[in-house]
């Protein structure tokens, strides 16, 4: 019986879905019939304008570019949509994950500023490839119904970086150096797919060097490719370097990749964090020892207070309990200090763990796992110099 009930429930759900599809198709058919009637009963130009009849060869063109912004507008990536004739774009709906609030964005210009093209600013918060699902309403100014063009356009992973001229004076201090068995032209194909390069950008052969500027904070990114397949990525952002390494490894299907890396600014900050971790550990041990001493003192005072009570020495008993009260206040104060110290210690330990993960993301495959394991071993043995050497050149055996 349970099986029969489940089958019945599935059938009812299927019938409900089919009924909903039938209603949608009937409504769509009704709209087509109404449009056809209006087209036959009205003059041609009036029908075209009101019911949104557009030329059959109407096409939609999309283009992504980098906009460096102005005094009133921050730099951003720009999506431009245009039609192939004199039709206008009434509205655009964009669905994308992680870019817009609510995962969607609607642009509908005022009736006075309608045209056959529209530019939409896009500012992705992270460097990840995103599929932009577009629904564009196309018609004429007097249209009450519009044709909906649906298409998907992928936003490149590093779309928030603009190609700029080389400036040796402002080169970043951090770098990642590695070698891959790929030709320079293939590397240029990767650049073209992951960055928004101008159409006239053409790199014939190695060696070549390109410079990008971040639209978020203005930081510099240099990528240098040699004839031997050696690639140098210069940036002070270790996360960006890791994203580039992972993107290259994914594009060229690289299973194992060892690199040499150095990020002086980031490593100096990490060294300060490690010093704080040692300080917080020392404070934690001192507070724990103080609490143990106070616990022993509490036991002693309790015994003495109870002895004084049994001997009816009320004055001594009162003094002992007053000492217990003061000691209890000290314990509560010490507990609050321990809690704050523990919170700060956890925050710094989390930062150290993130640094180890970032060092791992600079490698691919087996070298990545070796670096993470070796870094954790160096932390356990409190060998800071070994930790930084592993982060720079990989495991001690490499």
Domain boundaries along the sequence of the chain: 54-155, 161-254, 264-393
Lowest average pLDDT, out of 34-48, 147-161, 258-272, 345-359, goes to 34-48
The pLDDT tens digits of the residues spanning 72-112 come to 888 999 999 999 988 999 999 999 998 988 899 999 999 88
Model pLDDT, residue 304: 84
Q: How confident is the model at residue 286 (pLDDT cuts 50, 70, 90)?
A: confident
Average pLDDT over residues 3-21: 80
Model pLDDT, residue 45: 47
User: Is residue 69 over pLDDT 60?
Assistant: yes
Q: How confident is the model at residue 35 (pLDDT cuts 50, 70, 90)?
A: low
Model pLDDT, residue 334: 83
260 near 392, Cβ under 8 Å? yes
Q: Which residues pair with 79 in a beta bridge?
A: 64, 120
User: Is residue 350 over pLDDT 80?
Assistant: yes
Q: How confident is the model at residue 47 (pLDDT cuts 50, 70, 90)?
A: very low
Q: How confident is the model at residue 398 (pLDDT cuts 50, 70, 90)?
A: very low
The pLDDT tens digits of the residues spanning 167-195 come to 765 789 999 999 999 888 899 999 999 99
Q: How confident is the model at residue 119 (pLDDT cuts 50, 70, 90)?
A: very high
Model pLDDT, residue 283: 86
331 near 288, Cβ under 8 Å? no
Please count the other Cβ atoms lying within 10 Å of the Cβ belonging to residue 288: 12
The pLDDT tens digits of the residues spanning 218-237 come to 899 999 999 888 999 999 99
Model pLDDT, residue 146: 87
User: Is residue 357 over pLDDT 90?
Assistant: yes
User: Is residue 256 over pLDDT 60?
Assistant: yes
Model pLDDT, residue 392: 93
Of 244, 206, 211, 242, nearest in space to 226 by CA: 206
The two counts, helices (H) then strands (E), for the chain are 8, 13
**62 against 398, higher pLDDT:** 62
Provide CB contacts within 8 A for 204, sequence distance 6+. Answer: none
Positive or negative, the CA dihedral 320, 321, 325, 330 is: positive
Average pLDDT over residues 375-398: 85
Q: In this prediction, what percent of the chain has a pLDDT beyond 90? A: 51
Model pLDDT, residue 33: 77
Architecture of domain 54-155: Sandwich (2.60)
User: Is residue 348 over pLDDT 80?
Assistant: yes
Q: Which of 45-49, 199-203, 246-250 has the highest mean pLDDT?
A: 246-250
Model pLDDT, residue 53: 73
Q: What is the dihedral of CA 125, 131, 137, 141, to 10 degrees?
A: 50
Q: In this prediction, what percent of the chain has a pLDDT beyond 70? A: 92
Model pLDDT, residue 294: 80
Average pLDDT over residues 148-153: 92
DSSP sequence for 202-217? ---SSSEEEEEEETTT
Is the backbone of residue 112 left (phi > 0), alpha (psi -120 to 50) or beta? alpha
Model pLDDT, residue 51: 54
Average pLDDT over residues 141-157: 89
């Amino acid at each position: 019986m349970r099986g029969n009930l489940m089958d019945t429930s599935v059938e009812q759900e299927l019938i409900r879905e089919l009924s909903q599809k039938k209603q949608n198709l009937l409504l769509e058919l009704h709209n087509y019939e109404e449009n056809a009637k209006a087209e036959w009963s009205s003059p041609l130009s009036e029908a075209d304008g009101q019911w949104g009849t557009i030329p059959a060869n109407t096409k939609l063109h999309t283009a992504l570019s980098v906009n460096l912004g102005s005094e009133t507008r921050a730099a951003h990536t720009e999506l431009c949509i245009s039609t192939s004739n004199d039709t206008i774009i009434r509205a655009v709906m964009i669905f994308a994950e992680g870019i817009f609030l609510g995962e969607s964005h609607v642009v509908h210009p005022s009736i006075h500023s309608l045209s056959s093209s529209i530019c939409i600013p896009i500012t992705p918060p992270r460097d990840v490839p995103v599929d932009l699902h577009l629904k564009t309403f196309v018609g004429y100014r007097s249209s009450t119904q519009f044709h909906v063009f649906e298409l998907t356009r992928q936003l490149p992973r590093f779309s928030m970086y603009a190609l700029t001229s080389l400036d040796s004076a402002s080169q970043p201090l951090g770098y990642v150096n590695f070698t891959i068995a790929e030709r320079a032209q293939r590397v240029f194909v990767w650049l073209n797919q992951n960055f928004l390069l101008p159409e006239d950008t053409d790199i014939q052969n190695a060696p070549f060097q390109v410079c990008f500027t971040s639209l978020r904070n203005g930081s510099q990114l240099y990528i240098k490719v040699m004839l031997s397949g050696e690639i140098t990525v210069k940036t002070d952002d270790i996360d960006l370097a890791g994203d580039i390494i992972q993107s290259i490894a994914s594009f060229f299907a690289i299973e194992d990749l060892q690199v040499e890396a150095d990020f002086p600014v980031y490593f100096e900050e990490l060294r300060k964090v490690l010093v704080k971790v040692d300080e917080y550990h020392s404070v934690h041990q001192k507070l724990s020892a103080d609490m143990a001493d106070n616990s022993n003192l509490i036991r002693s005072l309790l015994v003495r207070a109870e002895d004084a009570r049994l001997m009816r020495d009320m004055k001594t008993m009162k003094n002992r309990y007053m000492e217990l009260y003061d000691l209890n206040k000290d314990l509560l104060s010490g507990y609050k200090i321990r809690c704050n110290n523990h919170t700060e210690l956890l925050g710094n330990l989390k930062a150290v763990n993130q640094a180890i993960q970032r060092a791992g993301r600079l490698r691919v495959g087996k070298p990545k796992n070796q670096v993470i394991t070796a870094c954790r071993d160096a932390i356990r043995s409190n060998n800071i110099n070994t930790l930084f050497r592993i982060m720079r050149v990989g495991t001690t055996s490499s």
